[in-house]
Structure 1
Amino acid sequence: MVVGQKVALGRVHAGKTVTIDVTDTTLTVECDDGPRTFRRTNDQPVRSIKAHRPRKTDHLPARV
């Protein structure tokens, strides 16, 4: 989720870190297979520059 907007890149990019350029009208995602541009659906400002770090799998509860 970027500035309150969900961005779908596909399973190929799941769990990877990407760089996103945010302008007033577009979101440009820098992927391994080239940049992808999405239209913005809202006008919320960017509140944090750095995303949260991913959770470690050894801290998650075991599924039964």
Structure 2
Amino acid sequence: QTAAEYVKSRLPEALKQHLQDYEKDKENSVLSYQTILEQQILSIDREMLEKLTVSYDEAEDEG
């Protein structure tokens, strides 16, 4: 069996495997992207809440 024949017989399988791995990675990255976004939104919400609480407390103290 020549190298060319070997590659021809193995390539479709290798490509299919590579494609499946790629699809899995893509799904995982989408999930992690959504998770990252969620985390960022939650931390922004928390920061805003803290700032609002601080300014509310300051207004209470002055009043």
TM-score range, shorter chain: under 0.3
Give the TM-score taking structure 2 as reference length.
Answer: 0.16
Structure ranking higher in helix proportion: 2
Q: Which has the larger radius of gyration?
A: 2
Structure ranking higher in strand proportion: 1
Give the TM-score taking structure 1 as reference length.
Answer: 0.16
